[in-house]
Chain A
Amino acid sequence: MEASFRELGWRRLVMLGGLLLALLGSLLLDLQAGPADLSLGQILAALWDSEQLDLRHRIILFDVRLPDALIALAVGAALGLSGLETQTVLNNPLASPYTLGVSAFAAFGAGLAIVFMPTLPGIGHTLMLPLLALLFALLCGALVLLFSRLTGGARESVVLFGMALFFLGTALTSALQYVGDTEAVDQIVFWTIGDLTKAGWPEVIAVSLCFALVLPFSLRHVWVLTLLRAGEAQAQSLGLDLNRIRLWVLLRVSVLCAFAVCFVGAIGFVGLIGPHIARILLGEDHRYLVPGAALCGALILSLASFLSKALLPGVIIPVGIITSLVGVPIFLALIVGQKRRV
């Protein structure tokens, strides 16, 4: 028994290593894709020593492509991790920050910024958009938390409440589109689809920092999260305070997700399928699943970012369209392929 337990651990570590390699590969693919022709060799050489490139290509690589590619990794990892933890603590395979309404609220916040163009002293219009998106995503997280506190944290009602918030956020965004002019409506639609190309280094750093701050808490919880996969009754019977655990997890998940979506828009599906792919590859032991879900989320968004540039020459398709179009069939295949129920 123990031998196969340890062997399984090794196999999963190897799998994590494989995912990491795949991620590096897709990062390079993503860096190399785009209209300005930069070869893989040039890119690698320039990453080693930036003087290797002429100024124009250097700007393209370091100010356009690298931040875009890295924000895909950071946002993907954040969405993968928050999706996994949401699914585990709510014991619901369809839960994700998206279904808790976080993204929909972020979209409403972004829409407010787009339509009314509010300004604050010292904060320009370009900063107002992510700021409002962040605030509303956090507000949604706070509402979910407040609600789960009031109802004692029963998980079914949290899921339903999240769905209600999702619809509320969507309805509010539609209302904004109704009052906004054509240009604002276009921008809102664009934002709700999700787009990586507007991100720069500050955004990359903000999302990465948030991820790096949340990850240790998730890693400290891996045993409890694994135990939760045996079901609520079992975890409770051993004396775990489920409501407290759920509250903590929802708190960190909504902060992480709020930061992930506030710059790049409501990218769907990554937080839902990333964790599922990780479960299939790595099993249910959260020691491997927590890093695995982050890696899978990052890999999916990175590949989607590559596809968004490579599918139509000269055109960048918004990445949210790719994640949903490619994500849905993959997701359906997974559902059909896997026979387990939970």
Chain B
Amino acid sequence: MSVFEVNNINVFYGRTQRLFEVDLPPLQSGDVLGLLGANAAGKSTLMRTLAGQQDFRGGAIRFAGQELQRHRARHWLAGVGFMPQTPPQESALRPFELLWSAARALGVTLSDQALTQRIEALLARLGLAERAMAPLYSLSGGKRQLVGLALALIRDPQLMLLDEPTSALDLHWRMVVLDLVQERVQAQQGIAIAALHDLDLAARYCTQLVMLEQGRVVAAGPVAEVLNPANIARVFKVEAQVEIGPMGYPRVQVLNAIRHPG
């Protein structure tokens, strides 16, 4: 039985259609779905739609027997952790304060002590223990992105929607973040969907991949099926080779940009 289903989603911005009949492969608990595509392919739009922040027409989005309805999006979000592309802004707010206030603003029913433990564990895991009480404006873009991830996880969500969670991070923290996502998905029988730009990371951490091009799904399925030179050439306009790397994951070697795509 699939736990998360997305069927036939259409999204319009005004009169312009941005997503066309999008289907995602049915996801089971434990799955990590990677969303791949060039800039403006519709990854963020799809992410916002799945989070209940963007109206869609036709079709349905279901998670664990519950159907997403726009007017009950707040209810839906209680089980969903959505990390938007934009990290927390550079205010004088401190990460610990932010997480604490967020939990209280959202009505997380934890005692002060339990909430403290959850925040401390999250921050420690993301390497923010030292900076927990430093103002956000003093943190680097990467650190703020990590704070954003902690914020998305504050409600302990079953479904994680991560819009380019590693775009500002260096190699080490990219691995730490995706290790954490994988670990949570497995430990809690959850599901994660992440928009990613790094094909090697996607190959390593995802169980399923979806490629988007101009608002349409052009390839979907297990990693080995989707990540091939033909799909990469179509979506990213580069010539590439895919081989199995020393760790046993597919590895993408980009050869050159295709000069006159299409």
A285 touching B51 in the complex, CB below 8 Å, given contacts A1-B129, A230-B91, A231-B89? no
0/1 interface trace, chain A 300-342, chain B, CB 8 Å (1 if under): 0000000000000000000000000000000000000001111
CB-based contact A279/B92 at 8 Å: yes
Contacts of A5 in B (CB 8 A): 96-97, 100, 116, 132-133
CB-based contact A340/B92 at 8 Å: yes
CB-based contact B105/A230 at 8 Å: no
Q: Which residues of B contact A (CB under 8 A)?
A: 51-53, 73-74, 76-78, 82-86, 88-94, 96-98, 100-102, 104-106, 116, 119-120, 123, 129, 132-133, 135-137, 148, 151-152
CB-based contact B102/A227 at 8 Å: yes
Name, among A223, A230, A239, the residue most crowded by chain B CB atoms within 10 Å (CB to CB): A230
B140 to chain A, nearest CB (A): 14
CB-based contact A230/B73 at 8 Å: no
CA distance A340 to B92 in the complex (A): 7
CB-based contact B148/A234 at 8 Å: yes
CB-based contact A341/B90 at 8 Å: yes
CA distance A8 to B89 in the complex (A): 21
CB-based contact B116/A2 at 8 Å: yes
CB-based contact A227/B105 at 8 Å: yes
A285 touching B101 in the complex, CB below 8 Å, given contacts A230-B88, A342-B89? yes
CA distance A291 to B125 in the complex (A): 35
Contacts of B119 in A (CB 8 A): 1
CB-based contact B106/A239 at 8 Å: yes
A11 to chain B, nearest CB (A): 12
Picked from A4, A223, A234, A284, the residue with its CB within 8 Å of the CB of B104 is A223
Q: Which residues of A contact B (CB under 8 A)?
A: 1-2, 4-5, 8, 91, 222-224, 226-227, 229-231, 233-234, 236-241, 279, 283-286, 339-342
Contacts of A227 in B (CB 8 A): 98, 101-102, 105
CA distance A96 to B41 in the complex (A): 39
A239 touching B52 in the complex, CB below 8 Å, given contacts A1-B132, A223-B104, A226-B98? yes
CB-based contact B77/A284 at 8 Å: no
CB-based contact A226/B120 at 8 Å: no
Contacts of A241 in B (CB 8 A): 74
CB-based contact B105/A285 at 8 Å: no
CB-based contact B92/A284 at 8 Å: yes
CA distance A170 to B80 in the complex (A): 48
Closest 5 CB pairs of A and B: A239-B77, A223-B105, A231-B89, A226-B101, A230-B88
CA distance A279 to B116 in the complex (A): 24
B96 to chain A, nearest CB (A): 5
B88 to chain A, nearest CB (A): 4
A278 to chain B, nearest CB (A): 12
A229 touching B84 in the complex, CB below 8 Å, given contacts A237-B152, A238-B102, A239-B77? no
CA distance A222 to B100 in the complex (A): 12
Picked from A224, A234, A342, the residue with its CB within 8 Å of the CB of B137 is A342
Name, among A223, A233, A236, A241, the residue most crowded by chain B CB atoms within 10 Å (CB to CB): A233
CB-based contact A231/B133 at 8 Å: no
CA distance A339 to B91 in the complex (A): 10
CA distance A223 to B103 in the complex (A): 9
Name, among A238, A240, A285, the residue most crowded by chain B CB atoms within 10 Å (CB to CB): A238
